[in-house]
Chain A
Amino acid sequence: MTLEHHDYDVLVLGSGGSGLRAAIAAAEAGARTALVCKSLLGKAHTVMAEGGLAAALGNVVPADSWSIHFQDTLFGGKYLNNWRMAELHAKEAPDRVRELEHWGAVFDRTPERLMSQRAFGGHTYRRLVHIGDRTGLEMIRTLQDKTVHSNVEVFMETTITTLIKDGERVVGCFGYRRASGEQISFSAKALVLATGGSGRIHKITSNSQDCTGDGYVLALAAGAELVDMEFVQFHPTGMVYPPGVAGLLVTEAVRGEGGILRNKDGERFMERYDPKRMELSTRDVVARAIYTEVKEGRGTPHGGAYLDVSHLDSDYVRRRLPSMYDQFLELAGVDITKEPMQVGPTCHYFMGGIKVDPDTGETRVPGLFATGEASGGMNGANRLGGNSLGDLLVFGRRAGIGAAETANRTDAVSLPVGEVAAAEAQVDHYLNGDERDQIENPFQMHKDLHKVMGDGVGIFRDREGLTDAITKLESLEGRADNLRAPSNRIDYNPGWQLCPEVKNMLTVSLMVARAALLREESRGGHSRLDHPAYSDYWGEHNIVIHSDGDKDMSLTPAPVVKRDELEELVEARKESEKAS
Chain B
Amino acid sequence: MSETMAAGGPRTLQIWRGDLTSGELVDYELETEPGMVVLDAVLEIQRSQAPDLAVRWNCKAAKCGSCSAEINGTPRLMCKTRLDHLPADEPIRVEPMKAFPVIRDLVTDVSWNYRVNEQITPFTPRDDLKEGVDLKNGDYLIDQADTDRMSEFRKCIECFLCQDVCHILRDHHMHNRYYGPRFMVRMASLDMHPLDGVDRLDQIADEGGIGLCNITKCCTEVCPEGIHITDNAIIPMKERVVDTHDPLLKVLGRTPNKGRRKPPPRSEDPEL
Q: Which residues of A contact B (CB under 8 A)?
A: 39-45, 47-48, 98, 101-104, 106-109, 112-115, 131-132, 134, 137-138, 141, 145-146, 148-149, 154, 156, 179, 206, 208-210, 241-245, 248-249, 301-302, 323, 326-327, 330-334, 339, 342, 441, 443, 485-487, 489, 491-495
Q: Which residues of B contact A (CB under 8 A)?
A: 1-2, 4-5, 19, 33-37, 40, 46-47, 51-66, 80, 82, 103-105, 107, 109-111, 114, 117-118, 122-123, 125, 136, 138-144, 147, 150-151, 154-158, 189-190, 193, 196, 226
Interface pair B51/A443, CB less than 8 Å apart: yes
B209 → A minimal CB distance (Å): 21
Residues of B within 8 A of A241 (CB): 1-2, 35
Interface pair B35/A245, CB less than 8 Å apart: yes
A-B pairs with beta carbons under 8 Å apart, 22 shown: A40-B66, A41-B114, A101-B140, A104-B193, A106-B193, A109-B144, A113-B142, A114-B139, A146-B122, A156-B114, A206-B61, A208-B58, A244-B40, A249-B61, A327-B61, A331-B82, A332-B35, A443-B46, A487-B51, A492-B105, A493-B52, A494-B52
Residues of B within 8 A of A102 (CB): 125, 140
B112 → A minimal CB distance (Å): 12
> How far apart are the CA atoms of A137 and B140 in the complex, in Å?
20
Q: Indicate which residue in B5, B138, B140, B147 contacts A333 across the interface (CB closer than 8 Å).
A: B5
Q: Indicate which residue in B46, B107, B144 contacts A179 across the interface (CB closer than 8 Å).
A: B107
Residues of A within 8 A of B82 (CB): 330-331
Interface pair A47/B123, CB less than 8 Å apart: no
A92 → B minimal CB distance (Å): 16
Interface pair A334/B111, CB less than 8 Å apart: no
Nearest residue, chain B, Cβ from A39: B58
A152 → B minimal CB distance (Å): 11
Interface pair A248/B46, CB less than 8 Å apart: no
> How far apart are the CA atoms of A138 and B142 in the complex, in Å?
16
A131 → B minimal CB distance (Å): 6
Q: Given contacts A241-B1, A330-B80, A494-B55, is CB(A108)–CB(B63) below 8 Å?
A: no
B83 → A minimal CB distance (Å): 9
Nearest residue, chain B, Cβ from A493: B52
Nearest residue, chain A, Cβ from B136: A114
A371 → B minimal CB distance (Å): 21
Nearest residue, chain A, Cβ from B145: A109
Residues of A within 8 A of B105 (CB): 492
Residues of A within 8 A of B35 (CB): 241-245, 331-332
- What is the predominant secondary structure among interface residues of chain A facing chain B? loop
> How far apart are the CA atoms of A206 and B64 in the complex, in Å?
13
> How far apart are the CA atoms of A458 and B133 in the complex, in Å?
53
Interface pair B61/A248, CB less than 8 Å apart: yes
Interface pair B37/A244, CB less than 8 Å apart: yes
Residues of B within 8 A of A208 (CB): 58-60, 64
Residues of B within 8 A of A107 (CB): 147
Residues of B within 8 A of A441 (CB): 51
Interface pair B114/A491, CB less than 8 Å apart: no
Q: Given contacts A179-B103, A492-B103, A495-B52, is CB(A145)–CB(B117) below 8 Å?
A: yes
B202 → A minimal CB distance (Å): 19
Residues of B within 8 A of A108 (CB): 144, 147
> How far apart are the CA atoms of A45 and B57 in the complex, in Å?
12
Residues of A within 8 A of B19 (CB): 491
Interface pair B55/A301, CB less than 8 Å apart: no
Q: Given contacts A137-B157, A333-B5, is CB(A43)–CB(B64) below 8 Å?
A: yes
Interface pair A43/B65, CB less than 8 Å apart: yes
Interface pair A242/B33, CB less than 8 Å apart: yes
Nearest residue, chain A, Cβ from B113: A40
Residues of A within 8 A of B58 (CB): 39, 43, 45, 208-210
> How far apart are the CA atoms of A443 and B50 in the complex, in Å?
12
> How far apart are the CA atoms of A332 and B114 in the complex, in Å?
33
A343 → B minimal CB distance (Å): 11
Nearest residue, chain B, Cβ from A45: B59
Nearest residue, chain B, Cβ from A339: B1
Residues of B within 8 A of A141 (CB): 154, 156, 158
Interface pair A494/B54, CB less than 8 Å apart: yes
Q: Given contacts A106-B142, A244-B37, A327-B61, is CB(A149)–CB(B122) below 8 Å?
A: yes
> How far apart are the CA atoms of A243 and B111 in the complex, in Å?
34
A57 → B minimal CB distance (Å): 8
Nearest residue, chain A, Cβ from B106: A492
Most chain A beta-carbon neighbours within 10 Å: one of B40, B46, B61: B61
Interface pair B1/A342, CB less than 8 Å apart: yes
Interface pair B52/A486, CB less than 8 Å apart: yes
> How far apart are the CA atoms of A499 and B272 in the complex, in Å?
33
> How far apart are the CA atoms of A116 and B130 in the complex, in Å?
21
Nearest residue, chain A, Cβ from B81: A330
Interface pair B60/A209, CB less than 8 Å apart: yes
Most chain B beta-carbon neighbours within 10 Å: one of A40, A132, A141, A301: A40
Nearest residue, chain A, Cβ from B34: A242
Q: Given contacts A241-B2, A242-B34, is CB(A131)–CB(B125) below 8 Å?
A: no
Interface pair B33/A491, CB less than 8 Å apart: no
Nearest residue, chain B, Cβ from A154: B114
> How far apart are the CA atoms of A326 and B82 in the complex, in Å?
14
Nearest residue, chain A, Cβ from B104: A492
Interface pair A47/B64, CB less than 8 Å apart: yes
Residues of B within 8 A of A489 (CB): 52
Most chain A beta-carbon neighbours within 10 Å: one of B46, B63, B110: B63
Interface pair B54/A137, CB less than 8 Å apart: no
B190 → A minimal CB distance (Å): 7
| CB-CB nearest 10 A-B residue pairs | A242-B35, A104-B123, A487-B52, A486-B51, A492-B54, A113-B141, A43-B64, A244-B40, A109-B144, A443-B47
Interface pair B118/A242, CB less than 8 Å apart: no
Interface pair A242/B51, CB less than 8 Å apart: no
Other than the given A104-B122, A206-B61, 11 more pairs (CB < 8 A) read A47-B157, A98-B139, A114-B141, A115-B139, A141-B158, A154-B114, A208-B58, A242-B33, A242-B34, A242-B35, A244-B36
Residues of B within 8 A of A148 (CB): 114, 117-118
> How far apart are the CA atoms of A493 and B52 in the complex, in Å?
6
Nearest residue, chain B, Cβ from A134: B155
> How far apart are the CA atoms of A339 and B125 in the complex, in Å?
44
B108 → A minimal CB distance (Å): 10
Nearest residue, chain A, Cβ from B2: A241
A305 → B minimal CB distance (Å): 13
Interface pair B141/A494, CB less than 8 Å apart: no
Most chain A beta-carbon neighbours within 10 Å: one of B64, B105, B114, B154: B64
Residues of B within 8 A of A487 (CB): 51-52
> How far apart are the CA atoms of A43 and B141 in the complex, in Å?
30
Residues of A within 8 A of B155 (CB): 134, 137
Residues of A within 8 A of B158 (CB): 42, 141
